[in-house]
Structure 1
Amino acid sequence: MLTKKQLDLLEFIHKRVQRDGVPPSFDEMKEALDLRSKSGIHRLITALEERGFIRRLAHRARALEIVKLPDAMQGNSGFSPRVIDGDKPDQRPPAAMEISGGAVELSLMGKIAAGVPIEAVSDANNKVHVPQSMVGQGAHYALEVKGNSMIDAGINEGDVVVIRETSVAENGDIVVAVVEGYEATLKRFRKKDKMIALEAANPAYETRVFREEQVEVQGRLVGLIRSY
């Protein structure tokens, strides 16, 4: 799973390499993605490298090499990358498919942090079956929980959460939140004025507070599959 920022950066690097023969500078990347500091670019570059899309070359200026591109960037209509903060529901096929026995098959889109935020990692080929009663209207998907920051809400590491895609949340909802375009986390949502707090359900973790423009809600928890 590539976040929108990761996909935007990969596309920007690819276009500049095709045009100029060399990758853009970090300052150019920062400006193109409208980030406040180069540390965000470093994190995006590291994420793309870990996923095998780019390679950093030692002892060379602007030492980035594109190793591969998502199929969608190569004009392959058979695949569209799952962008964690992106597509409108009517621009992709449904994430859930009804099967026999009153169950629904959802795409297991990867892992979500219930701890220190991590990059979401996806293998959309995996599926999970959930009761039909667990899902309602709209698109749904599943994520495996990594970390223990939500244990007091009954959400343990290894559990699978069922998420309804939405950009709207009420105070107290447990949501999938994307922080500054590249960190995905599962936390309880609180908003006051123009500030958003992402609360853990474990006293070992501090509540993190952000400006509202730094946080984008991508889904709301509607179900839980316990892992034993």
Structure 2
Amino acid sequence: MLTKKQLDLLELIHKRMQKDGVPPSFDEMKEALDLRSKSGIHRLITALEERGFIRRLAHRARAIEIVKLPDSIAAKYSAAPQTGGFTPRVIDGDRPSSRPSAAAPVSQWGATDVPLMGKIAAGVPIEAISQIETHVAVPGTMLGGKGHHYALEVKGDSMIDAGINDGDIVVIRETSTADDGDIVVALVKGQEATLKTLRRQGGRRIALEAANPAYPAQIYPDDQVEVQGKLVGLIRTY
């Protein structure tokens, strides 16, 4: 059970992230909740985190992730239904005990080795990915389109309703264009990468939508979102 102030703050954070893609500052929270000091906001944030409604991300300013919403708030801000969407072609495999070095790739059993570039957030954006960690073998049938492909390990659960789970490896075809409803790797503000469904919202705005009603859409001016690839496949390890 949350107090009224805790509910008010959670709804404020949710509304601001749904509108602008970032939470309000502590000063904005203090003013909106009519509190005298930011220490009251710190206590409310800590209480929400302890109850599992939000998560604070280390080493980033104003980095708050909404993990879940109470029914009273979720009913008011239900996520737009996902249409079109991606039906993942899932390849099951055994998770190796340790990752091989990022040496030159070696093809195995007719598969193509693609670089595994690191982790991608299926939640809030994380720092942009730029280094090859190793390579993964991907069946040639999964690489249907022409062009360069790469793989990323999924971190988070915001795309679970699209069949993409935390720890999955997603296979991405590098491209700078995408249609509405495509699941893409989007670089936000030139700094952070996220895996989301792309939808254009009239004018010059882009919504990056989760496939989990607990996560609001992240909406940005179109010049702050750069498509870096389109989802073409999924590898799940156990």
TM bracket (short chain): 0.5 to 0.7
Matched with 2:228 is: 218
Sort the Cα spacing of 1:168 and 1:98 in 2 relative to 1 into closer, same or farther, 3 A: farther
CA RMSD of superposed structures (Å):
2.1
Question: TM-score, with normalisation over the residues of structure 2?
Answer: 0.54
SS of the equivalent of 1:226 reads strand
Q: Does 1:174 align with 2:157?
A: no
Matched with 1:108 is: 116
Deviates more, 1:156-165 or 1:99-108: 99-108
One-letter amino acid of the structure 2 residue matched with residue 157 of structure 1:
D
Conserved in 2, the CA contact under 8 Å of 1:110 and 1:120? no
Sort the Cα spacing of 1:98 and 1:223 in 2 relative to 1 into closer, same or farther, 3 A: farther
Matches within 5 A, 1:1-228: 99-121=107-129, 123-135=131-143, 136-193=145-202, 194-228=204-238
- Greater relative CO, 1 or 2 (CA 8 Å, sep 6+): 2
Displacement of 1:209 after TM fit?
Answer: 0.8
Take 2:115 and 2:194, find their aligned partners in 1: how far apart are those partners? 18
Conserved in 2, the CA contact under 8 Å of 1:166 and 1:217? yes
Equivalent residue pairs, number: 136
Take 1:222 and 1:190, find their aligned partners in 2: how far apart are those partners? 18
One-letter amino acid of the structure 1 residue matched with residue 168 of structure 2:
D
Conserved in 2, the CA contact under 8 Å of 1:111 and 1:122? no
Displacement of 1:183 after TM fit?
Answer: 1.1
Structure 1: stretches of 5+ with no match in the other structure:
1-38, 40-45, 48-95
Question: TM-score, with normalisation over the residues of structure 1?
Answer: 0.56
Conserved in 2, the CA contact under 8 Å of 1:113 and 1:186? yes
Displacement of 1:227 after TM fit?
Answer: 2.7
Conserved in 1, the CA contact under 8 Å of 2:158 and 2:211? yes
Sort the Cα spacing of 1:214 and 1:160 in 2 relative to 1 into closer, same or farther, 3 A: same
> Percent of aligned pairs with the same residue?
64
Runs of 4+ in 1 over 3 A off after TM superposition: 120-123
SS of the equivalent of 2:237 reads coil
Sort the Cα spacing of 1:97 and 1:132 in 2 relative to 1 into closer, same or farther, 3 A: farther
Sort the Cα spacing of 1:98 and 1:222 in 2 relative to 1 into closer, same or farther, 3 A: farther
Could you give the per-residue CA deviations for residues 125-152 of structure 1, whole angstroms, max 9, x where no partner exists?
Answer: 4110010111131000000000000000
